[in-house]
Structure 1
Amino acid sequence: MRTREAILYGAAEVFDECGYSGASISKIMKRVGVTQGGMYFHFKSKELLAQAVIASQQDFVRFPVGEDGLQRLIDMTFQLAGELRSNVLFRASVRLAVEQGELGNRDDTAYQQWVEMFHRQLLAAQQAGEVRADVDVREFATVLVGSYTGTQIFSNAATHRKDLPQRVSALWRYFLPALTEPQMRQKLRVEPREGTAA
């Protein structure tokens, strides 16, 4: 299991640096320091290795504990922004999910997992009266994942994600009026918490 984990992490580093097309099994083996036999015992191909990195996406991020609801959801999006800037493993899994056409895949599982996570926070927020009752929170979770994905891709192209926290702040400033009443918006912080990765 330790060898498999080392291969997964080493592969993520290479995929982050080179992308799927630029990565090779030999580069990954060199990075990890594993033999060809050791590599193929755990992963039969580069494609299966890339799929394993994508599937581990949420495992690469640790969110701070807190009360479920709208502020926690906002904080999670800032945590993700910080992880995309500093966590090579998470960054690689996101890159591969975006580039998965190169693998011959059309799999939205990683995106649907984020929809589920965001939906749980929105549902808790709606039950607590933080989100308007007429908002379809599952639909909004889907819109949020799509918007966030586009925002981080745009930020990466423009500034290598240096301005991603500011772009996430702007995202929430425009989204919150569709979700909440004015008095609720005044209670919410739409900036990164001090000490978060962002």
Structure 2
Amino acid sequence: MPQQRRAQATRRAIVVAAAEEFEDAGYDGTPLSAILRRSGATKGAFYFHFSSKEALAVTLVRLQGRHWPRLRQRWLRRRLDPLSIAVGMADEASRLLENDVVIRAGTRLARHRIGRNLAAHRAAAEWEQVLTELLQRSAEHGLLRAGVNPVEVARVIHAAMVGVRVVGADVSPGPGVGARAAEVWQVILQGIATAEWLRSNRFLRTVHLP
């Protein structure tokens, strides 16, 4: 394996090992020795890539922070109605959090003191803003029931998604993040979407709603 590829593989192994250790024991409860042991990297290799455990944690925060704008833009470019985009976008985000330990750990660290001064820490506000805009457009297109307030619904959905992320990851046995997110959407859509949208929207079959 060429030297550059070996270095990239080592860096990736360290990042994944750190994510797994932080998930198991938390950032403060994870010594550097545990990351080295799990990754198989030497201390010298670690310090070649990262100046400290904190620098590694910052990397995890930034990795997850870069992913969400790309995910949102991909969904916003799709030729779907705004309510379908909101559902599909949140569904994919939930599944990704459930299945990708690096993104999951980075998201948790964004709420830790490590991530408070980073741009990625603002991701929560960005999610709520995007959901608000999509639900306002849904109302304009006549996809929401009369009297539904798009801003309030966006806040409720965002709070529910944050709760799903915490409960789905921390409570076992029980449904994971993706399944709990699907349950949230099942309940919310019955209350906010028009009967016509619920009846005719074939897109729902492509996401993981019960």
TM-score calculated relative to the size of structure 1: 0.68
Say which structure is richer in helix.
2
Counterpart amino acid of 2:180?
A: R
Do residues 44 (structure 1) and 51 (structure 2) align?
yes
How far has the Cα of 1:190 moved from its partner? 9.2
Question: Quick check: which has more Rg, 1 or 2?
Answer: 2
Count of aligned residue pairs for this structure pair: 194
- Where does the alignment leave 5 or more consecutive residues of structure 2 unmatched? 1-6
Which deviates more from structure 2 when the two are superposed, residues 15-24 or residues 110-119?
A: 110-119
Which residue, 92, 102, 112 being the options, matches 1:89?
102
Mark the CA change 1:45 to 1:183 in structure 2 (over 3 Å): closer, same or farther: same
Do residues 172 (structure 1) and 179 (structure 2) align?
no
Cα RMSD of the aligned pairs, angstroms, is 3.9
Instruction: Report 1:97-116 matches (<5 A).
Output: 97=110, 100=112, 103=114, 105=116, 108-116=121-129
Query: Percent same amino acid at aligned positions?
Result: 27
> Partners of 1:165 and 1:5 in 2: how far apart?
25
How far has the Cα of 1:95 moved from its partner? 3.3
Do residues 19 (structure 1) and 26 (structure 2) align?
yes
Tell me which residue corresponds to 2:79: 67
How far has the Cα of 1:138 moved from its partner? 5.2
3-state secondary structure, aligned to 1:159 = coil
TM-score calculated relative to the size of structure 2: 0.65
- Where does the alignment leave 5 or more consecutive residues of structure 1 unmatched? none
Indicate the structure whose relative CO is greater, using CA pairs within 8 Å and at least 6 residues apart: 1
How far has the Cα of 1:148 moved from its partner? 0.9
- Whether the 8 Å contact between 1:74 and 1:190 is mirrored in structure 2 is no
How far has the Cα of 1:48 moved from its partner? 3.3
Counterpart amino acid of 1:80?
A: A
